[in-house]
A and B are shown apart, each in its own frame.
Chain A
Amino acid sequence: MSHDGDGPLVDVEHLNVSYGAGRDRTQVIHDATFQVAAGESVGLIGETGSGKSTLARAVVGLVKASDGRVRIAGEDVTGFGLSQWRDFRRRGVIQYVFQDPLRALDPDLTIEQSLSEPLQVQRRLSRQQIRDRIVFRLEQVRLDAALLSRFPGELSGGQRQRVLVARALATEPRVLILDEPVSALDAANRVAVLEILNTLRANGTSLVFISHDLGSVAGVTDRVIVLYRGELVETAATTDIVNRPEHPYTRLLVGSAPTLSSGAIDRERRAELRRLLETS
């Protein structure tokens, strides 16, 4: 592969994304530049409508960027057409886990069929090798192989989310992008999924977490990128974002997040930050 192992795994430069055309054209991502290093875990945090999902989708070619450059594992994917993207995705270097665990699985396919598909299109492994691989992946997400013959509707929300992670892992990706991976789950499943992702992180898979709630994923990230109204306003190590946020929006976000200890800032300060954001 063209990636030499030294440069960033994901390298985004001056990316702009717009929706609509002519007078209805709205720019939703403004000049985004960021990198994700090999083995790094990054949180892409922003409120509803900040453009975080759009940015992640632009990186994997699901949304067309109007400007800028994206390189994944050293390969410039910026000008890729549909067939180039298809071939690139089949290699499975980068995988995307979508937000809604029920709709992201075909209800008419068994779990085994859903998990086998990304490997079958690669045409590299035999049927038995594929089966061994997906059983291994299921074990990795702590699901029983007995689930293979079931349909998505027969699984709980937590099981479905883990199946999606297992499917994303089937092609041994170097980068996994996860859109709100735990927001729809109950506490026991949230912790189980976060533990699984932490194990992947320890094994060197790069992770990108998209979330509106820094508090739900902070503990599995090394670094946080804060997105506000389509702009990347701040990036720093997670501990610095939490303890020494700089941009007014980051300060408002961290200061609003409920915690068990009383770390939230008082409302007067939040109101001041809000005024500061509105005037800037």
Chain B
Amino acid sequence: MTDTLTAVRTAPPDIASPAEGADSPADVVLRVEDVRIRNPHTGVEVVHGVSFELRRGHVVGIVGESGSGKTLTCRAVLGILPRLFEVSGGRIELLGRDVSTLTPREWTHLRGTSITAVFQDPGSYLNPSVRVGAQIAEVLRVKRRLRRREAKARALELLADVRLRDPQLVYRQYPHELSGGMLQRVLIAAAISLEPQVLIADEVTTALDVTVQAEILDLLLDLKMQHGLSLIVVSHDLAVIAQSCDEVLVLRDGHVVEHGPTDGILFDPSHEYTRLLIDEHNNYGLDRFRTDDAAPADSALEARGSRHVA
């Protein structure tokens, strides 16, 4: 069974495999059907039926507040729901396989090699007392059975893949020596180290400065193009989703209140919560000020007249 799962991988990671023309049902890497999540002790249902399909090389966005059920949905897909919760209905199919039939051992094999995730606070997913390079190499040694030297060479390649400027230096550094943006790149390098097909990015840019956020989003979209990765991008910020996703789900109190192509939802939202998010940008964000001719405003890079304050 696991052989077929690994055989689904089409391209080695270094070869660009843009996911064009990926429309046959076989290209659905993840299918989530009416998934419900509840607390079995209290009987309270917290996610009330989430459905979507993720095709190879596509990006699905999930928008919602904390508590809307977006992270629980992701964790159900990863098979790592917190102890107090269980999938109480619906079906999750990963690479054509119903995940409810997976044994813990099969799950352990699938995580990392087929599906993986990166979360908001990268620092807390790294051991503070181990150099970051060794932490990536360890994954490769355990899961891929690489020798020490091979694992190090591959880890250095991965650090370069996520565009860390000096992979050799970063390899030797401890987590506390890296900025938030660099840590997030390290976590992404570790996440793609086993060449998964699905990457869940759950609020990965929330704690980062706006300029760093743009770079991390670029990186995720590059990985999608170069490695044929399929992405689930989770954010509380509709604009982040608007810039990175083909399709969006809006979650509110465990209900999907909106689902469709991103452009359609931005242009014609049907739920009041989505309208609130759009109005916020239009009334208080940069969208309020942007004039139509402003997009190419930064065409010239020569030094300009200065508005220095002093």
- A contacts, CB < 8 Å to B: 14, 31-34, 47-48, 186-188, 190-191, 194, 212-220, 225, 232-236, 238-239, 242-247, 251-265, 267, 269-270, 272-273, 276
Contacts and interface: CB of A to CB of B under 8 A. Distances in A.
Interface in B159-203: 180
List the 10 closest A-B pairs by CB distance, nearest first: A219-B284, A258-B239, A256-B214, A242-B289, A232-B309, A47-B209, A243-B294, A186-B65, A256-B211, A215-B285
Contacts of A217: 284
**Which of B65, B214, B237, B279: most chain A Cβ within 10 A?**
B214
B297 interface: yes
Interface in B252-310: 266, 273, 276-291, 294-295, 297-298, 301, 304-310
Contacts of B280: 187, 190-191, 194
B278 A260 contact: yes
Interface residues of B, number: 48
B298 A258 contact: no
Contact of B277 (A187, A272, A273): A187
B243 interface: yes
Contacts of A242: 286, 289-290, 294
B218 interface: yes
Contacts of B277: 187
Contacts of A48: 180, 209
A243 B287 CA distance: 11
B295 A263 contact: yes
A144 B243 CA distance: 39
Given A235-B307, A258-B214, A216 B276 contact: no
B213 interface: yes
A41 B286 CA distance: 16
Contacts, number: 156
A257 B286 contact: yes
Given A33-B309, A260-B266, A218 B211 contact: no
Given A212-B210, A253-B210, A264-B214, A259 B290 contact: yes
B304 A246 contact: yes
Contact of A261 (B215, B237, B290, B308): B290
A195 B121 CA distance: 31
A107 B281 CA distance: 34
Contact of A254 (B281, B286, B305): B286
Nearest to B68: A186
22 contacts: A187-B65, A191-B280, A194-B283, A212-B209, A215-B210, A215-B239, A218-B285, A219-B285, A234-B309, A235-B307, A235-B309, A239-B289, A243-B297, A246-B304, A252-B211, A253-B210, A255-B298, A258-B237, A258-B242, A260-B239, A260-B266, A273-B298
**Which of B273, B282, B286: most chain A Cβ within 10 A?**
B286
